[in-house]
Structure formats: structure tokens, C-alpha cells
């Protein structure tokens, strides 16, 4: 029986529920196995060594209690009847529905994580229990699809029979039949039009595993209906690699979304194939990567036509000896040939009145100076996300002059980005307007007044 989800915020701590106290070691072992398989769903920075142990949850002993602390990964973990949901730090406790809806919007604009549930998150369906919402969407979509458009496919088979069907496989016939005196056993290659094909086998396998994870009666019923329709299909273990080998006919475009969802579940289940009853399932992504990927996707899609070039993840070296790699998120060239370095910082900028640093860390400023020097530009833009419901503060520009660069003062501007909203359209319209303004040449009068 599934318990109510445990809710955590990024980098926050809470007590471990009674149901998990005796299974902490098992949970850590499971998360370690997930961590070792992490290349399935995102790319790492080769310059930063990855920790040997999983960074998703840390268990601490404090004041006689066992507590767990979330890292910078958000999503959910389902483990033996218990769901742990980790929300982005831009949201507060009790805002799971809003938080996961936004996570889906952000992933939809990115390219590093394939998230095939965008339609779910634009509707009114509740997503407070995120894993259950994903399973429900898959069940409803797939049942309607296979009921209205059953998928048959020509598949090549090699079979031994008493008559020629298709073409005779001469090599196999000589090896397995003729050499043993079984001249009447013909080995033939043929392509029957089958309902029992690889795609339906993948769908059936994924559906069977989701039945073990599902907790809602209506969703389970839809999954059982899918299994009933696919009763004639072989039930065999499938992997992500099986999904990649499937070539869909253009007349079955609806199955592309279904296949993407199957690929998603197979990527993130990490199930023990020897134990069909094991109920482990997780989806965890690093929020700094999600934020960076989302902003880059919006810039390319919504603002790109107004710019000359956009380079994402622009890498280079700080020194002439090609050591100390630098990697800014965006390198933008406008129509006039002016360059702008853009770097996203997934930090909540606490801009208090009288704070001359405007919530910008000294380390970040040092980093931006090196970016400006190596990219031969005097304009650098730092973009910070705003928590849900907050209004942006005024941009803050820092100016760095030097005797070495008398004519080229470096200007580093810190701005807040509105990456949340009541609707996806509201969020995008506000964000696009902010980005367009931020990419415009900064007024000379403003720069002069701020540098005094």
C-alpha cells in the first residue's frame, strides 16, 4: 500500500518517516545504483569530478532524530510503497502541484532531458502527486491509442516449416536441416503482418511494470485494459535500446508520443528485472542544469530571430597553456556585431536594501571577469531566477576598470528572471520581454551614471 508522498524542498531537511527508518540502508543502496546509471538522463561536466555516492538525499542524526536532507536534484523517488517528492527551491511547502507543473514547462524547452508529458502539464489535471500523474497520463493516452488505432507491423522472422514461405535461408537450411538429413525442414525468412510486434511488446512490458507502481484505482483499471487489448502480444523484458530500434510508419504518428513515454519509464525505473514485484521508480534532475537549459531554449526559440548568433555552452581556456577551462552558458552576438556573455546562476539573489553587492557573490563576479577577458567583450549578464510570486528588483550593474584596459571598462549586470507564472503563457510572455530588454545595448547614459 502506498503512503502519502513525503514532501521536501531543495536543500531543506525534514524528519525521516517511521515507515522508512528501518529501510534507510536499502534506500541509500537503491539511490547509489541510480547514481551510477545517471548518464542515462543527463550529461556531466567533465571538469568537475562526480561524487562516488549519490547526492540526492543525505541522512543525518540530529537531536536524537534521523533526518533527511535534499540535495540540488528535484523530482521524485518511489521506494517500496513510499513516495518522496523534492520540489525546486523557488517554491514553498504545499506547492507541489504548481512546482511540478513548472518543472514540466521548463523541461519542455530544454534539450538535455526528454520529457514527453508536456500536454499533461498544460491542462487542468492535478499533478501534486507527480509520479501518479505521469502514470495516469500514459494509461489514458495509450488505452485510447491502441483502442482506436491498433498497431500492426511487418516483422522479419526466421522459421523452420514444411513449405517455402518468403525466401529460403540457404545457409541456415544447410547448417540446421540438410546437414542432419532433415531435408524436408525448410528454413525460411519471411515478414508476416503482426500485432505481436516489438512496439506492442514494449508497451505491454512497460504497462505491466506500471501496474506494480500505480496506486489509483482508475489508473490501474486503464492499465489493466491495455493489458487485455495486448493479450496476444508476448510478454518479454524490454530495455531503452529496444525502443531505439523501433522504426514507426508515418501513418502512426500518435505512437511516437507513446514510444517516448515508454522510453522515459524504462530510463527512470531502474527496476530489478529478476523481481517483477519490486516497486522502485525515480525521476531526478539537477535544477541548475534544468534552469540553464530552459533559459537557453527560450532564448533560441523565442528571441533568436532578433540576434545574429547564439552559442550555447561555449567552452574555452582561461590560460594560454589550455588549462582552467571556462564554460559560459550563452555567447550572443547581436545584429550590430556586439558580443554579450550570458551566464545563468540558479541561486535566489537576496537583494537587501543597502547591500552594495546586490546579492551577487564575490566568486561569481571573479568568474564573470575571466569570461569577459577571454571572450573579448566588456558586457556580461548574470541571470538569477525569481521565486514563485515575487517581483523582480532593479538590475544592478558593476563596473570594472583597469590601467590595462583604459578604453574598455567591463560592465557586469545582474538581473532577476521571472521563470514562474500562473500559466505557461504568462510565464513565457514575461520572460521573453525581460530577455529582450536585457539583450539590448545598455544605454551609455546609464553606464556613465552608475560608474560615478
Provide mean pLDDT across the span 88-101.
Answer: 92
Residues 6+ apart with CB under 8 A from 407: none
In terms of Cβ atoms closer than 10 Å to its own Cβ (0-12, 13-18, 19+), residue 225 is middle
β-pairing, 280-286 vs 193-194, is unpaired
pLDDT at 12 over 80: yes
pLDDT at 45: 59
pLDDT at 1: 43
pLDDT at 319: 83
Question: Of how many residues is the chain composed?
Answer: 452
What Rg value do the Cα atoms of the chain yield, rounded?
A: 27
Name the more confident of 324 and 62: 324
pLDDT at 432 over 90: yes
What is the C-alpha end-to-end distance of the chain, expressed in Å?
Answer: 66
Phi, psi of 205 (to 5 degrees): -65, -45
User: What confidence tens digit (pLDDT) does each residue in 56-94 have?
Assistant: 999 988 777 889 999 999 999 888 778 899 999 999 998
Residues 6+ apart with CB under 8 A from 421: 427, 428, 430
Report the chain's mean pLDDT, rounded to a whole number. 84
pLDDT at 20: 85
pLDDT at 377 over 90: no
In terms of Cβ atoms closer than 10 Å to its own Cβ (0-12, 13-18, 19+), residue 179 is exposed
DSSP for 233-288, written as a single string: S------HHHHHT----GGGTHHHHHHHHHHHHHHHH---TT-TT--EEEEEEEHH
Phi, psi of 209 (to 5 degrees): -70, -35
Which sequence spans correspond to the domains of the chain?
A: 1-128+276-286, 156-191, 307-450
pLDDT at 3: 62
Provide mean pLDDT across the span 228-253.
Answer: 88
pLDDT at 43: 54
> Which range has the worst mean pLDDT, 143-147, 151-155, 364-368, 433-437?
151-155
Residue 319: other Cβ atoms inside 10 A: 10
In three-state secondary structure terms, 192 is: coil
pLDDT at 409: 87
Max mean pLDDT among 23-27, 313-317, 384-388 falls in 384-388
> pTM for the full model?
0.78
DSSP for 78-109, written as a single string: EETTEEEEEE-TTS-TT-HHHHHHHHHHHHHH
Contact 313, 412 (CB under 8 A): no
Amino acid at each position: 500500500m502506498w503512503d502519502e508522498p513525503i514532501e521536501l524542498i531543495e536543500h531543506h531537511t525534514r524528519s525521516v518517516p517511521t515507515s522508512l527508518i528501518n529501510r534507510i540502508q536499502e534506500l541509500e543502496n537503491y539511490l547509489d545504483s541510480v547514481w551510477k546509471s545517471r548518464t542515462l538522463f543527463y550529461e556531466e561536466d567533465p571538469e568537475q569530478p562526480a561524487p562516488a555516492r549519490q547526492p540526492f538525499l543525505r541522512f543525518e542524526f540530529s537531536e536524537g532524530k534521523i533526518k533527511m536532507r535534499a540535495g540540488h536534484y528535484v523530482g521524485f523517488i518511489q521506494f517500496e510503497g513510499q513516495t518522496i517528492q523534492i520540489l525546486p527551491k523557488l517554491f514553498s511547502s504545499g506547492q507541489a502541484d504548481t512546482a511540478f507543473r513548472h518543472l514540466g514547462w521548463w523541461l519542455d524547452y530544454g534539450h538535455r532531458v526528454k520529457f514527453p508529458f508536456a500536454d499533461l502539464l498544460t491542462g487542468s489535471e492535478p499533478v501534486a502527486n507527480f509520479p501518479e500523474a505521469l502514470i495516469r497520463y500514459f494509461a489514458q493516452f495509450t488505452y485510447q491509442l491502441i483502442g482506436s488505432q491498433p498497431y500492426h507491423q511487418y516483422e522479419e522472422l526466421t522459421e523452420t516449416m514444411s513449405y517455402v514461405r518468403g525466401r529460403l535461408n540457404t545457409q541456415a537450411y544447410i547448417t540446421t536441416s540438410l546437414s542432419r538429413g532433415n531435408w524436408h525442414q525448410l528454413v525460411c525468412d519471411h515478414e508476416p503482418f503482426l500485432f505481436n510486434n516489438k512496439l506492442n511488446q514494449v508497451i505491454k512490458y512497460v504497462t505491466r511494470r506500471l501496474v506494480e507502481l500505480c496506486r489509483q484505482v482508475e489508473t490501474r483499471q486503464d492499465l489493466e485494459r491495455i493489458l487485455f487489448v495486448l493479450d496476444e502480444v508476448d510478454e518479454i523484458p524490454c530495455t531503452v535500446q529496444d525502443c531505439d530500434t523501433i522504426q514507426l510508419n508515418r501513418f502512426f504518428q500518435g505512437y511516437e508520443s507513446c514510444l517516448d513515454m515508454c522510453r522515459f519509464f524504462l530510463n527512470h525505473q531502474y527496476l530489478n528485472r529478476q523481481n517483477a514485484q519490486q516497486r522502485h521508480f525515480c525521476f531526478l534532475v539537477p535544477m541548475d542544469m534544468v534552469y540553464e537549459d530552459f533559459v537557453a531554449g527560450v532564448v533560441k526559440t523565442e528571441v533568436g530571430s532578433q540576434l545574429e548568433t547564439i552559442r550555447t555552452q561555449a567552452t574555452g581556456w582561461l590560460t594560454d597553456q589550455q588549462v582552467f577551462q571556462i564554460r559560459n552558458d550563452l555567447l550572443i552576438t547581436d545584429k550590430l556585431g556586439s558580443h554579450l556573455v550570458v551566464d545563468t546562476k540558479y541561486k535566489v539573489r537576496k537583494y537587501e536594501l543597502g547591500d552594495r553587492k546586490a546579492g551577487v557573490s564575490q566568486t561569481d563576479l571573479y568568474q564573470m571577469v575571466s569570461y569577459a577577458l577571454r571572450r573579448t567583450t566588456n558586457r556580461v549578464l548574470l541571470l538569477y531566477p525569481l521565486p514563485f510570486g515575487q517581483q523582480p528588483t532593479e538590475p544592478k550593474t558593476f563596473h570594472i576598470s583597469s590601467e590595462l584596459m583604459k578604453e574598455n571598462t567591463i560592465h557586469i549586470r545582474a538581473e532577476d528572471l521571472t521563470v514562474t507564472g500562473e500559466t505557461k503563457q504568462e510565464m513565457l510572455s514575461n520572460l521573453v520581454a525581460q530577455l529582450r530588454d536585457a539583450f539590448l545595448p545598455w544605454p551609455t547614459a546609464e553606464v556613465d551614471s552608475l560608474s560615478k
